[in-house]
Structures are given as structure tokens and as C-alpha cells.
Amino acid sequence: MSYLLRRTEENLFHGKFSTFPEDWVAHAISTRIGGVSQSPYDSLNLALHVGDDSEKVLANRKKFAQSLGFQLEDIVTPNQVHGDKIFRAEEIHRGRGSQSYADSISETDALITNVKNLPLMLCFADCVPIMFVDVENFAVGIAHGGWKGTLNKIAAKTFLAMKNNFGTTAEKCLVGIGPSIGACCYEVGANVVETCKKNFPNHDELIINRDGKIFLDLWAANKIQLMEVGLPEKNIDVAGECTCCNSNWYFSYRDTRKNNFSDTGRIAALIGIKD
Ligand SMILES: [Zn+2]
């Protein structure tokens, strides 16, 4: 199991889970490198809602989609709200949110589909991208786990939604937990600790005390909840890359705030079934 960055012909970088099949699925997590947006969105900002010039965002999205063999016009993407709603994308949703934030799938933090050539995309700046592949029923999924989504077990709920919709089994479901803020940098407050203790009662290891500060391990919290719903540990790949430590490669909300800037771009995770 490993997570690798691969340079594409278009001079983008694709972050890829080596466990995921390549013959019928295309997936990648982007970096901030290779786009046309200007500071503070430099340069491959893939989000329309953060104040960047929308023409530049659409050029970036088009390039990223094409580098994976998809078209911008086919992407389905939601308006993410740190909730735990999961949406099944079907043919009638083709293109929703791809070119306009206003027609995004509303208030949704995870997408699943078994429709071919219907790429699913979510945007991130420190939150955890979680990608799913059902190698038996040919279905895919993607979830957005900030602290709220993670502690509300959106990863486990996304697997269960795939189980209900497509018959996905734990044994045949592969999951990738992508680059996001690590326990090295993710300092949290008392309210987060309280929620974590309530929702993960036997996992004190998720809360780390260091130098009088408290940190949360989002990667482990996502992995644990997937194992709680039956996924074998060997099916779960954790990239282990901290976006805040590596803000030259990734947009990082925390790193941006540390430097007293207010805005930053978003990387994206995209997954789709090939035609
Ligand atoms: Zn870090």
C-alpha cells in the first residue's frame, strides 16, 4: 500500500492510491501546482466559492479533468457544508456544479455512483479526502471529512450508503485516505475533544497532548470508523501526507491563517468510472 505522486503529460501531479484499480477507475488528488490562478490561489485552485476568478478556476478544472480522461462538463460536485449527507449521483445529475457553484448538489459532503463517465469531485484545504472503490459491483464514492464530518463518521456512513445502494461489501471495498492536516499540526479545542470522546469512547489515542496543546488525529479516526463497520485494515490506504506541513504542494487553511492571510485555494479529489 502506498500513495504516490505521479507527474502527468499536462505537467500536473496526480496523487494516487496504488491499491486502486486502473483499468476501470480513474482517480487522483490534485496538488496546487500546474494551474493558472494567481496568489493567494496559486496556482491550481479548483474551487469556485473562494473568491478566485471563475474563468481561471474553470480552466484549472478543465485541465485536471482532462488529465484523468474526463471532461469538465461531466463532473458532479456539491456545495460542501461539513455535514454528513451522502448523495447518489445519477445520469440526470451530470455536470451539476461543474461550471457554476449555484447549481452544485446542495449541502452534501459525500457522493457515490455506479454510472460510467460521471466523475465525482470534492474540494479540500486541510480536510480529509476519503475515496472508495467497490471492486465487485463497480461503484465509487468520495467523502469530505473535516473534524465534524470525521467525528460524525461520514466515512463509515459513505461505505454504508454504498452497501445500501450497490450491495458493496466490506471485503471488496478499497478506501484511500488522502493528504490532509495531520496530528502534527491539527490543534483543536475542548469542544472537539468532547465530541471525539463521545463518538469514539474507546480511542483516547485520537487525542494527543503536546506542549500544553491538544491535537486530533483525523487519519486514525477515519480509519477506525471504517474498521468499525467491517472493513479489513488491509483495504484502507492512508497517504500520511500533512497538507499544513507541505503547503508548497497543497492548499492549507491552517497554514494560510498562521501567515495571517484569509484566503486560499482548494485542491480536489476526483474519481470516476471509465467509459
Ligand atoms: Zn503537519
How high is the pLDDT of residue 258?
79
Question: From ligand 1's centre to the CA of 110, what distance in Å?
Answer: 25
Question: From ligand 1's centre to the CA of 150, what distance in Å?
Answer: 18
Q: Which residues of the chain have pLDDT under 50?
A: none
Question: From ligand 1's centre to the CA of 182, what distance in Å?
Answer: 5
- Which domain does 158 fall in, by range? 3-181+235-273
- 222 is a domain residue: no
Question: From ligand 1's centre to the CA of 247, what distance in Å?
Answer: 9
pTM of the model: 0.97
User: Do the bridges between strand 3-7 and strand 13-17 make them parallel or antiparallel, or are there none, so unpaired?
Assistant: antiparallel
DSSP string covering 211-275 = TTEEEE-HHHHHHHHHHHTT--GGGEEE---BTTTTTTTS--HHHHHHTT------EEEEEEE--
Cβ atoms of 266 and 50 closer than 8 Å: yes
- 204 is a domain residue: no
Three cell numbers written together for 241 = 501526507
- 22 is a domain residue: yes
Question: From ligand 1's centre to the CA of 217, what distance in Å?
Answer: 11
- 209 is a domain residue: no
Rounded-to-integer distance, Cα 31 and Cα 97, Å: 21
Looking up residue 160, the CATH number of its domain turns out to be 3.60.140.10
Question: From ligand 1's centre to the CA of 9, what distance in Å?
Answer: 30
How high is the pLDDT of residue 256?
87
- 197 is a domain residue: no
Residue 131, classed as helix, strand or coil, is: strand
pLDDT digits over 76-125, tens only? 999 999 999 999 999 999 999 999 999 999 999 999 999 999 999 999 99
CB-based contacts of 172: which residues, under 8 Å, 6+ apart?
134, 135, 136, 137
Cβ atoms of 250 and 31 closer than 8 Å: yes
- 32 is a domain residue: yes
How high is the pLDDT of residue 259?
75
The type of residue at 140 is V
Q: What is the number of structural domains in the chain?
A: 1
- 39 is a domain residue: yes
Residue 51 per-residue DSSP state: S
Three cell numbers written together for 46 = 479548483
- 194 is a domain residue: no
Question: From ligand 1's centre to the CA of 180, what distance in Å?
Answer: 9
